[in-house]
A = this chain, B = another copy of it.
Amino acid sequence: MPANPRSARLSNLGEFQLIQSIPRQFTTQGFRPTVGIGDDAAVLPLSPEQHFVISTDLLIEDIHFNRKTATLYDIGYKAAAANLSDIAAMGGTPTGMFVAIALPPSLTKQDWQEFYRGLAVPCKPYKVQLLGGDTCSSLTSLFITITIIGLVKPQHILTREGAKIEDLIYVSGTLGDSAAGLAYLKKLRRPPKPSVLTKTMKYLVQRHLQPTARIALGQLLASQPYASTTMDLSDGLSGDLKHLCQHSHVGALIESREIPMSQHMQHYAKRLQANPLDWSLHGGEDYELLFTIPPKWQQEFEMKAKKQRIPITKIGAIQPKGFGIRIEQSNGRQKRLYPKGYEHFAQ
């Protein structure tokens, strides 16, 4: 903690700490959300059959994206996918979107149209509609805020709270692909034409620029009381697992050899002499789901996921809080897992 917290620079404080300090300022009487600040999204009760689930994301040039590594189409696509992923993490069905955008003077109408063209693509399968928004000029960079709305059945809303000791920890898909794709894009310094890329680089770049929200998995997890917790992986496994454990007041043990990694990512890591495990543990923006399942549901859940062809991998188990968060290395030794993921202000 800084010596004088009242005038502490925000750069010395983590986002999590800041968020924790807000809600007390507002009255907690009146209209009550079922799930509030700190989760992937807020849930507002509608009827006994359906609730609204709402989430807001801020995307800032040179922090969340860079026009040297992404086209406006890519930026729109990823903005939509990241928001759909928040709905997936709550087990919801996305329905509508609000877009607030501040445009620097250098952008043309064509850029603007490309942004919306990209934004519409991941929305299309779910018939997500653009409901409104706000458009302004920015004197500096491109700023985008997306608010997404979905519907969720109140019986099994997925949250970050509720993981119990011995629950099994799962992730979907493969981890670290997005970080590998970003590492490549940063070397290029401009968005590449897909046609000139090798199969490996095309895959990794696409995983970074055009991630897929795990809507079907979220809905499967919410269809029965399978999942005790669910969140999406935006900051990286190490950081997000820490958030999940904080919300559920538990510890965790994961096994490094179980962490799912794509052939493409491992291949590129070898080429760069990078450690693929670092990308998969600490690389953000995979937008896969991280979730926990009580052992009694393991068999039924795994069978249904297989039937729906949703790739999932068991990577560990929940432990008592005092255990902390540890990773078992390939040599069988355990060590503490510290987040190296992206935390705003903390860098």
Task: Tell me the A residues contacting B by CB distance below 8 Å.
Answer: 5-11, 13, 15, 18-19, 21-23, 25-33, 36-39, 41-42, 44, 46-47, 52, 54-58, 60, 62-64, 95-96, 98-103, 105, 107-110, 112-113, 116-117, 119-120, 123-124, 126-141, 143, 145, 147, 149, 344-345
Contact = CB atoms under 8 A, between A and B. Distances in A.
Task: Name which of A9, A100, A126 has the most chain B CB atoms within 10 A of its CB.
Answer: A100
9 contacts: A9-B105, A11-B137, A23-B130, A26-B128, A28-B129, A46-B46, A58-B100, A60-B143, A63-B139
A129 B27 contact: yes
A308 to B, nearest CB: 22
A287 to B, nearest CB: 16
Contact of A108 (B9, B44, B103, B136): B9
Query: Which DSSP category, helix, strand, loop or mixed, fits chain A's interface?
Result: mixed
B18 A112 contact: yes
B18 A130 contact: no
Contacts of A11: 105, 137
Given A44-B96, A44-B131, A58-B136, A6 B52 contact: no
Q: How many copies does the complex hold?
A: 2
Contact of A110 (B6, B23, B29, B41): B6
B108 A10 contact: yes
A32 B131 CA distance: 9
A10 B131 contact: no
Contacts of A132: 36-39, 41-42, 54-56
B56 A25 contact: no
Contact of A112 (B10, B57, B116): B10
A25 B116 contact: yes
A252 B332 CA distance: 80
A28 B134 CA distance: 20
Contacts of A126: 30
B116 A58 contact: no
A166 to B, nearest CB: 31
A37 B28 CA distance: 31
A332 to B, nearest CB: 40
Given A58-B136, A100-B58, A109 B10 contact: yes
Contact of A56 (B100, B105, B110): B100
Contact of A54 (B26, B27, B149): B149
